[in-house]
């Protein structure tokens, strides 16, 4: 069974700083990787997906994938208090259908 | 367009009672997923439906849990003889076809509390 590991945090950064969220996964053949953001009491919302080694940028968010190290990260530049949430890393299961989630990293951005 | 909807938003029940949770996926999405999110446990996959194919029930934790999807759209998750450990947020998600790498869109969830 695939596993996804994340540091639970909390990760605290000041407003305007770069927040770096990390995730490792157990199955070397995993192909698809997702970062979801979940505000307290709300449902998960997709931030980024990444499938190839390297960086993928979308606005203030950059996802980085290193398949050799089985490592995926999410960088948030110019962090805002509104970025305070739990960030969930996920990979597709062996069937390529369901998502296997890490337990999430809680980010707190102070103004 | 409308997102995934779930009902009820909250459900309080007594231990031993049966409960039904409903999910209405995004129109046109053929794949539907149920997940459970418990405190300290993270999001766990429960069951997956894709079109008319047999569902993937590999995540259901016990035979007290069952789900059906009628007409390829609305799904109902049923928990029989509820236990306190069933207390969690039950999340439904849908995606266009259910393939590798597809974005899954989550509903608001049903918060279940078993007393």
pLDDT digits (tens, 9 = 90+) for A5-42: 999 889 999 999 999 999 999 988 888 999 999 999 99
In the structure encoding, which two tokens stand for residue A43, read together?
């449902």
- CB-based contact A106:A89 (threshold 8 Å): no
Strands (E), A1-111: 4-6, 11-14, 19-25, 33-38, 45-50, 54-58, 61-66, 71-76, 85-92, 99-101, 105-110
Of B44, B99, B103, the CB nearest to A46: B103
- CB-based contact B51:B72 (threshold 8 Å): yes
User: What is the percent of chain B where pLDDT is above 70?
Assistant: 99
Q: How far apart are CA A71 and CA A45, in angstroms?
A: 21
Of A43, A88, A97, the CB nearest to B98: A97
Region A91-99: mean pLDDT is 89
Confidence of residue B50 (pLDDT cuts 50, 70, 90): very high
Q: How far apart are CA B49 and CA B60, in angstroms?
A: 13
In the structure encoding, which two tokens stand for residue B89, read together?
């947020």
- CB-based contact A54:A64 (threshold 8 Å): yes
**Chain A contacts of B40, Cβ < 8 Å?**
103
Of A43, A97, A102, the CB nearest to B56: A97
Region A36-65: mean pLDDT is 96
**Chain A contacts of B41, Cβ < 8 Å?**
103
Which tops the pLDDT comparison, A93 or A62?
Answer: A62
User: What is the percent of chain A where pLDDT is above 70?
Assistant: 100
Evaluate if residue B1 carries a pLDDT over 70: no
Q: How far apart are CA A107 and CA A45, in angstroms?
A: 15
For chain A, the average pLDDT equals 95
Partners of residue A50 on adjacent β-strands: A33
DSSP H or E segment with residue B44:
strand B42-50
A30 at B interface, C-beta within 8 A: no
């Amino acid at each position: 069974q695939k596993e996804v590991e994340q540091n639970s945090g909390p990760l605290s950064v000041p407003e305007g700083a770069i927040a770096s969220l990390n995730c490792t996964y157990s199955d070397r053949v995993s192909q698809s990787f997702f970062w979801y953001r979940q505000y307290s009491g709300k449902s998960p919302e997709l931030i980024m997906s990444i499938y190839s080694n390297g960086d993928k940028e979308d606005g203030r968010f950059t996802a980085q994938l290193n398949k050799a190290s089985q490592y995926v990260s999410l960088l948030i530049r110019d962090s805002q208090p509104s970025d305070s949430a739990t960030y969930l890393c996920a990979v597709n299961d062996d069937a390529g259908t369901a998502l296997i989630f890490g337990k999430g990293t809680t980010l707190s951005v102070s103004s | 367009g409308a997102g995934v909807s779930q009902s009820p938003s909250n459900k309080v029940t007594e231990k031993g009672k049966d409960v039904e949770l409903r999910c209405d996926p995004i129109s046109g999405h053929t794949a539907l997923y149920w997940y459970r999110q418990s405190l300290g446990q993270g999001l766990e996959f429960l069951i997956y439906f894709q079109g008319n194919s047999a569902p993937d029930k590999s995540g259901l934790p016990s035979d007290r849990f069952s789900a059906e999807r009628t007409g390829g759209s609305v799904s109902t998750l049923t928990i029989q003889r509820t236990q306190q450990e069933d207390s969690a947020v039950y999340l439904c998600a849908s995606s266009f076809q259910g393939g590798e790498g597809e974005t899954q869109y989550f509903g608001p969830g049903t918060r279940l509390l078993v007393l």
